[in-house]
Structure 1
């Protein structure tokens, strides 16, 4: 856009945005997707008409409608100078009054912390690390093929090959996560291209679908009605608020008091059933035809590789077993850092406070790092989503210091305890639902 045209747009009604003062009360009145304002670094932006063009999806913007999105904006974007150019025509004024002093102080301290980790070089990726990680994924795929090619179509080699493929798929899941967060390459287009290839060709899924879901999760983790990862009311109730609401609203619903038991069964079907349905539904409704090509190539390559050796029945069995193992692994490894934490409606908390309440860490070890794709450092990942995962642990002492200063709990657990806490949390929420449901519907 030419500078002259840009200046005309930003000078609304003859008043340049920096000269127009907007109160917090006015900002908060524009709090929905049809009337969407928010604040970034003291400037007010109207993104109502532009939100659908947002590369990260419109919903992530609507989650901050009427709020201060400064820290979220800071954390999600690498090339801030370029992004600001696109933001300039959307600016409508300058915030007249600031927020609570306590919130402003923690925001200020987080900015300083981010500058510190940047100066430490923690946002610089190791191409050797990611190259080795990709190589071990490819080797696992080759190993699975060699097992079948050498040992034939017996059930033992079929199961062993399926396990190797499940490990490969899970590790590819952690790798696509890196590319999706723009944490590997220096340019956004390279990360985006790599993400489409890895999640599409190596996993049979959709890059656009993943970003639409996952970016919302990072923007508002464990926030009811905003984090898609906890939109699970049809099957589970989580936290302390959702069980009560569901119990009071619905007389007939799932037997949530048993959810800590059936969780272990249903999570087997998450990837084989739910994700396949949601991915292809998204691709067709959004008409992402190039992603459809990549997604379809994965099962085509899979069948072409194994069908000649084991036949159709065992090829299907291998695929289902691979997905079932991957589903269990992925679900437990990701949810142990979120389900046991605070789950509530949007309280418009400061970025650091919100992330600390919604996430916890798991102890560092070579196995834990590999098993979770370094998401055992979930706290640091949520605070700095574009930081390469191999550097997350280096930021831990600084984050702990920030938490100590502001009285925030920094939770870190052994792996076994973190996994068990998922069931403990589900059992507690299920019992809360049962008590509320019984009191509401049986005893009036």
Structure 2
């Protein structure tokens, strides 16, 4: 029977054995490699703070650089890993799988050591305090605008714009706490994460963790990155997947028109029509009661502030207009870095190649930094996800140099170009699907 035999301690394994016996299929379950040591995470993944799927995505693969990227204190975490060690690679086995570039990996690890030595992973608490303060000020101004200005259209419009800005900026700030990039310890990051995403936005931190860490672990990898789960139900994404879908004669939507219906089913609809109800479903289904209480505190506060001033119809109208504006802001910013880039199934590439091929930057400016929450430095953020956003600009020249030395395309573009490239890439992949659907 599966799992009935005891595994010998410290097995000497080959990469082929790790892939075949620990790749998430059959009896052996989920194994992964960190610094040549092989760990059996089959049961531990169910207790993993980042969610079970995150470890499953690396089953049968090397996770050394991903492990270093996600943890504030890798040495501490290794103590928890020790009981899970199954064995290690044989001396005759290379440190990396054949699909990965040793020179690039070694070069990146040297870069990471330089980054750590320069203190670029250390946050400036005052920076994030200022970000939080400006969000709270805008939130207060929104309430005062309506209370003092009455329910005229100018007052309602300004209030909606201010509240949408609060929601967008709180979204970027919760992203910082979620990535553990504000405090030096996980505990305070997790606490403030719940406050910002729960009390200021009305969403569960556990839901964000479940989705976003998978995205970072395997960006633009079909079936592993939840951010591209819209393929193929609503959109067809990426050249390879679009052609494959067409060859299979699958048609869930008229994809040749997806660059047009994206303006209706994408930016304006994601939050008010989907996230708005799904976050409650997630919290209840996963029994995340603490997250649910934080979420309810947002709705109680919002209701007590605005319902007495507006009455029920106008109150509901204001709420969904804010969600509509927030959704447009959120979708355009979060998709501009990924949708136009390489999308395919997991090719098990090295950490740097995988991240750079799946991401692009937007040119730096004070407005772009604020408007995107520094997600305009998406390449650097994906390579160093725990790096505080105020340091991403400093590491960018080093990353650009690394990419140049190894022939990787480092893409940075104006904000408007980044937005238009979303539509252009949807148009291209829709045409590729149609050609394959009709002629292959």
Q: How far apart in 1 are the matches of 2:328 and 2:218?
A: 24
Shift in Å, 1:311: 1.1
Q: How far apart in 2 are the matches of 1:278 and 1:213?
A: 13
Matches within 5 A, 1:262-301: 262-266=261-265, 267-301=267-301
Q: How far apart in 2 are the matches of 1:324 and 1:438?
A: 37
**Are the equivalent residues in 1 in contact too, given 2:99–2:349 (CA < 8 A)?**
no
Q: How far apart in 1 are the matches of 2:63 and 2:134?
A: 39
**Are the equivalent residues in 2 in contact too, given 1:223–1:343 (CA < 8 A)?**
yes
Which residue of structure 2 lines up, in the alignment, with residue 241 of structure 1? Answer: 240
State yes or no: 1:37 paired with 2:35. no
**Are the equivalent residues in 2 in contact too, given 1:362–1:415 (CA < 8 A)?**
yes
Q: How far apart in 2 are the matches of 1:252 and 1:426?
A: 15
SS in structure 1 of the partner of residue 349 of structure 2: coil
**Are the equivalent residues in 2 in contact too, given 1:203–1:298 (CA < 8 A)?**
yes
Which residue of structure 2 lines up, in the alignment, with residue 153 of structure 1? Answer: 151
Cα deviation digits, residues 198-219 of structure 1 (max 9, x gap): 1000000010010000000000
User: Which is further off, 32-41 or 110-119?
Assistant: 32-41
Q: How far apart in 2 are the matches of 1:401 and 1:247?
A: 39
Residue 27 of structure 1, aligned match among 18, 22, 33: 18
SS in structure 1 of the partner of residue 311 of structure 2: helix
Q: How far apart in 1 are the matches of 2:409 and 2:438?
A: 34
Shift in Å, 1:248: 3.7
SS in structure 1 of the partner of residue 181 of structure 2: coil
Q: How far apart in 2 are the matches of 1:285 and 1:142?
A: 34
SS in structure 2 of the partner of residue 158 of structure 1: helix
Q: How far apart in 1 are the matches of 2:14 and 2:25?
A: 20
Shift in Å, 1:247: 2.8
Question: Over aligned residues, Cα RMSD in angstroms?
Answer: 1.5
Which residue of structure 2 lines up, in the alignment, with residue 184 of structure 1? Answer: 182
**Aligned pair in 2 of structure 1 residues 101, 316: CA closer, same or farther (>3 Å)?**
closer
Q: How far apart in 2 are the matches of 1:102 and 1:390?
A: 31
Which residue of structure 1 lines up, in the alignment, with residue 87 of structure 2? Answer: 93
Q: How far apart in 2 are the matches of 1:194 and 1:25?
A: 43
**Are the equivalent residues in 1 in contact too, given 2:248–2:437 (CA < 8 A)?**
no
User: Which is further off, 154-163 or 421-430?
Assistant: 154-163
Which residue of structure 1 lines up, in the alignment, with residue 61 of structure 2? Answer: 67
Which residue of structure 1 lines up, in the alignment, with residue 426 of structure 2? Answer: 426
Q: How far apart in 2 are the matches of 1:104 and 1:59?
A: 27
Cα deviation digits, residues 88-124 of structure 1 (max 9, x gap): 0011111121134962221111111011011111111
Shift in Å, 1:251: 4.5
Shift in Å, 1:245: 3.0
Q: How far apart in 1 are the matches of 2:240 and 2:301?
A: 45
Q: How far apart in 2 are the matches of 1:240 and 1:205?
A: 34
Return 5+ residue gaps in structure 1 as ranges.
1-10
Matches within 5 A, 1:220-259: 220-232=218-230, 233-249=232-248, 251-259=250-258
Output the TM-score relative to the length of structure 2. 0.94
Matches within 5 A, 1:41-120: 41-96=35-90, 97-98=93-94, 99=96, 100=98, 103-120=101-118
**Are the equivalent residues in 2 in contact too, given 1:162–1:321 (CA < 8 A)?**
yes
**Are the equivalent residues in 1 in contact too, given 2:31–2:60 (CA < 8 A)?**
yes
Q: How far apart in 2 are the matches of 1:129 and 1:220?
A: 30
SS in structure 1 of the partner of residue 101 of structure 2: helix
Shift in Å, 1:33: 6.8
Cα deviation digits, residues 358-409 of structure 1 (max 9, x gap): 0011100000000000000000000000000010010011111111111111
**Aligned pair in 2 of structure 1 residues 162, 33: CA closer, same or farther (>3 Å)?**
farther
**Are the equivalent residues in 1 in contact too, given 2:69–2:386 (CA < 8 A)?**
yes
**Are the equivalent residues in 2 in contact too, given 1:377–1:393 (CA < 8 A)?**
yes
Cα deviation digits, residues 300-334 of structure 1 (max 9, x gap): 21111011111111111111111111101111011
SS in structure 2 of the partner of residue 386 of structure 1: coil
Cα deviation digits, residues 319-360 of structure 1 (max 9, x gap): 111111110111101111100000011110000000010001
Q: How far apart in 1 are the matches of 2:100 and 2:198?
A: 44
Q: How far apart in 2 are the matches of 1:332 and 1:33?
A: 37
